[in-house]
Structure 1
């Protein structure tokens, strides 16, 4: 892997960790227990668009692990990993196969829905109660808004990241791939 690519991916992971930590300070009491904006998922979508799905999955895993260790929220790691991995996989499938139908905002909404489904599935197993899925309709509604916001932020950030990469001497995105 080229040094510049490692540098960019490291910066993306660092931004994701910072967003994860910042988000932990934002109270969201009006929705559902554990509901968050999904700010850290911006980095997964950006990585997917700029570098591809393999790197997006790697960034998601590293981001979740380091953020959990750094914040001491190791018990939340399984929820975070399940949500991040499943949402990144779904976003990769939608982006690859349906990008002519869905913008990055649509891809992000699919990712937000997948993230919530994965986390509810983990919670269902952890508490041995399938009734946790009664939260799903509310979480799907929340996913529309959070997915829209994450998608919008990802469009803006990925466009700027591509410009930065090109301005740093790369004539083609293929040079860093």
Structure 2
């Protein structure tokens, strides 16, 4: 793929991740638990990981986190998104490399580790360990959203042609 197509593909993927993030912000919380979200942007990360490679998935996720935080967030939301997003992306990369996990399994692990990253960031920024009790609640949401996002991502990965 030539450089122009590569840049365009990255731009489209980052824009799609930003759009899904904005859409998710507009949806009412599907449960009344703070911090619980569907993680729609992870669809793009999963597709990038399986179709474009590790570095592409990391780059697209970083661009999305920075852009969405600048447009719609705060410094705190950036910290939580970055911690959760980078930890989950790195874990998904490692699990994918083993070839022992399906796309859905990789996505579930990403959902769970995203929550771990957020809790670690909260413990650091709020200078408290008390928030760790909240982790089991977030793990449940991470598993459920990881399943849904993984299923959607697996379907897209099978049907889309992207090469970088």
Q: State whether TM-score is above 0.5.
A: yes
- Structure 1 equivalent of residue 15 of structure 2: 14
The structure number with the bigger radius of gyration is 1
- Structure 2 equivalent of residue 102 of structure 1: 101
Aligned residues: 163
Quick check: 2:35–2:138 contact (8 Å CA) kept in 1?
no
Q: Shift of the alpha carbon at 1:91?
A: 0.2
Q: Shift of the alpha carbon at 1:60?
A: 0.6
Partner deviation per Cα, 1:53-108 (whole Å, 9 max, x = no partner) = 111111110001111112244431111111111100000000011x2x32100000
2:111 match: secondary structure: helix
Q: Shift of the alpha carbon at 1:18?
A: 0.3
1:13 match: secondary structure: helix
The higher relative CO (CA closer than 8 Å, separation ≥ 6) is in 2
Partner deviation per Cα, 1:12-45 (whole Å, 9 max, x = no partner) = 1000000001111122263531211100111111
Unaligned runs of 5+ residues in structure 2 are: none
- Structure 1 equivalent of residue 124 of structure 2: 125
RMSD: 1.5
Q: Distance in 2 between matches of 1:79 and 1:23?
A: 16
TM-score (norm 1): 0.86
